[in-house]
Structure 1
Amino acid sequence: MEKHLIQPAIAALLSFVIAVRAYKRKSLNLSGAVSGFIVMFIHLAVNYRFGAMLLVFFFTSSKFTKFGEDRKRKLDADFKEGGQRDWIQVLFNGGIATLLVLTSWKLIGSQDRCLDSKESRIITALIGGIIGQYCCCNGDTWSSELGILSNEEPRLITTFKPVRRGTNGGVTKAGLLAAAAAGSVIGLTFVVMGFFTTKCTSDVTVKQLFVIPLSALAGVCGSVIDSLLGATLQFSGFCTVRKKVVGKPGPTVKRISGLAVLDNNAVNLVSILLTTAITSIAFLYIF
């Protein structure tokens, strides 16, 4: 097999196996598995480092989504067994990064590059955006899935008043720490993979280590933006019949916070867009 066909072949095989496994384990429904296969294939076929970040996000977030399911079932009105994601959630969580990955492929093919604005500002910005996207997604998922299980009483991020668990915009210290850890894991993955896939000068190599703390900040940034949008533009109310926090107004629902302007997917998309842009710009100046 020709050398330039090996990576796409590996990408196709690995993406297929993971998509089927995720479908069987109910992490993805059928539409989510198909779209997930496409997104994974593009990432891995273009650059193994991009694929590694996506896979770390997918596996860790899926694991934490299933963690404490019995308790979440009692708290979350939109609880899904296994945390099944559909094609909309897959594209909202990976679509922007996929476009950035394809742009990178168009410019430099499957080459892996160090973060160095002196060599290429646009590639540094693209890589920063991809890292920012997955730090945001991972940070939001970890903070949501672990924060709701915290014994600490959540507080609305806009007023700091105590709110019920599951309220959009409710934050805890544990949730914010989880977001920082989630971002760090993405940054660490990028740095460690780089030792095997790139060759940088010594000074540039040392500077790559800054990716880890910056990724932690990106994880927190994404989580905070998500919480701010959730507290203001996403409706939260308590259903007196179901005894759960719900995301839509109704005759039996007492409003807690927010306006019914954005749903959860829209909040995720806006927070991803903002975090991706902020991280991309920050990487331009720092690297």
Structure 2
Amino acid sequence: MTSPVRRAGAFAALCTLSLAVPLFGPMAAAPVAAVVLLAAFVVSGGPLFDLFAFPDDYEDERLYGLITFVLAATALGVIAVTSSMSLSIFVGSVLLIGYGNLAEQLTRVRTDAAVVHASAFCVGGSLAAVVGQTATLVLLGTSLEGAFPSIVFLAVSGALLAALLRDVLLLYDDPIVMLSVGLLSWLLAELEPEIGATVIAIALVVTVAFGYASYALGAASVAGMLTGILLVLLTIVFGGYDWFAVLISFFAIGSLSTKFRYEEKAARGVAEDNDGARGSGNVLGNAAVALTAVLGYAASSAELLPGGADLFLFAFAGSVATAMSDTLSSEIGGVFDQPRLITTLEPVDPGTDGGVTWQGELAGIAGAGVVAGIAYGFFPEVGAVGAVVIVAAGVVGMTVDSLLGATLEGSVLGNQGVNFLATLSGAVVCALLALGLSAAVFW
């Protein structure tokens, strides 16, 4: 059986064949993919089989891992040829997976540290994607003037998503990861981010520093760190540092509240698992709506979506206010006795889903107020009335979270699903209230 490093090297070399598409054209490159796919079906043993075979392939004597990988690359290539997706995104995505995996496997030989593995994948994959995109543009005769910052942004965003998915999925699910990276990069490219070399350099320094700090301080797992870095990077690029200030307030204050009297909460059975380190599910459950609002704002600004961009700003602030309110109400309220079920006000045990305390409710209101205050300070369009709207939306979202916890959590929804629906409700309420106020002012 071949070593993981040799297999990763073979797949990386195979990924390099994707350059045949911009070099010779789609029609000339198609036979290359057909030959590789046919060989994957025919070869059932020998050195070539050993070179590409995953452990599970030996049982069936078929290179299923190679087959699915080639099919995924072919599908992504077909999308690129038949749609507005750039061929540079296709090549960059394929090379990202191949060489990112090779970089990760090389580090696995020397260390078992998961954070080193993820970092190696991101660095190796990003560099390969940058080279792949640049080479494709050169081969196609496209000018590179002003394109490099966007190339780096797409490469790093794709690498972060790929590393996150590989952490959540199996290492053998690279075909799914490749397609996901290509589609995300296509979406981000369509939003046409206006970024310069200085902007992307500072954004990368800020996001990497934020991610490392969250991991080093025990506030996030490796998957949580990757998720946070990706969310922050997209927020800075498409929203700006004022949007980042709103988002980072939740991550910072929420993490501190998790550590607040942690041992006491652990003894009461209401503390976060993993010593308070939040995973990707927790981060996404609380921030996915905010990220969607950022991308919606960018799409609206690029006139890809109808409607005012300011509504997405209020949706963003409302979702973050909800996440902050819910986190503080749970973490602060968890150290106090005599919680009551929000639906009946009957006393319940600490940690019961849907149980609330008056101390926790006050903390939640204060958390929404912090987000509203930051939004008021950074966004002139928010104003005093808009700040009140953000607080109200945060409280509504926090209440929805408690109601769902008391009624559906555990039987229908998991904790992350409850968090997602709560932040969604806060975002919708905030946007609707802002829309109503703007209509009232207009009339």
- The answer as to 2:404 corresponding to 1:229 is yes
Residue aligning to 1:60? 253
Which has the larger share of helix?
A: 2
Normalized against structure 2, the TM-score is what? Answer: 0.52
Residue aligning to 2:269? 76
C-alpha separation between the residues in 1 aligned to 2:214 and 2:319? 21
Residue aligning to 1:251? none
More contact order relative to length (CA 8 Å, sep ≥ 6): 1
Contact 2:300 2:308 in 1 (8 A): no
Residue aligning to 1:172? 357
Q: Secondary structure at the match of 2:409?
A: coil
Unaligned residue ranges in structure 1 (runs of 5+): 110-119, 199-204, 236-259
Residue aligning to 2:425? 274
Matches of residues 230-249 of structure 1 in structure 2 within 5 Å? Answer: 230-235=405-410
Aligned residues: 242
Residue aligning to 1:99? 292
Deviation sequence 1:145-168 (CA, Å, 0-9, x none): 0011124x1110111111111111
Which has the larger share of strand?
A: 1
C-alpha separation between the residues in 2 aligned to 1:106 and 1:223? 28
Q: Secondary structure at the match of 1:158?
A: coil
Identify which range, 1-10 or 176-185, moves more after superposition.
Answer: 1-10
Contact 1:121 1:284 in 2 (8 A): no
Residue aligning to 2:178? none
C-alpha separation between the residues in 1 aligned to 2:356 and 2:282? 22
Q: Secondary structure at the match of 1:74?
A: helix
Q: Secondary structure at the match of 1:209?
A: helix
Which letter does structure 2 place at the counterpart of 1:218?
A
Residue aligning to 2:392? 217
Deviation sequence 1:92-151 (CA, Å, 0-9, x none): 221221122122123326xxxxxxxxxx95212111110111011000000000011124
C-alpha separation between the residues in 2 aligned to 1:221 and 1:77? 23
C-alpha separation between the residues in 2 aligned to 1:208 and 1:6? 31
C-alpha separation between the residues in 1 aligned to 2:203 and 2:284? 18
Residue aligning to 1:147? 333
Residue aligning to 2:161? none
Normalized against structure 1, the TM-score is what? Answer: 0.79
Identity across matched positions, percent: 29
Deviation sequence 1:199-218 (CA, Å, 0-9, x none): xxxxxx6x612232222222
C-alpha separation between the residues in 2 aligned to 1:108 and 1:173? 41
Identify which range, 164-173 or 211-220, moves more after superposition.
Answer: 211-220
Deviation at 1:227, TM superposition (A): 0.5
C-alpha separation between the residues in 2 aligned to 1:130 and 1:78? 27
- The answer as to 2:185 corresponding to 1:34 is no
RMSD over aligned CA atoms reads: 2.0
C-alpha separation between the residues in 1 aligned to 2:299 and 2:414? 34
Larger Rg: 2
Q: Secondary structure at the match of 2:196?
A: helix
Residue aligning to 1:192? 377
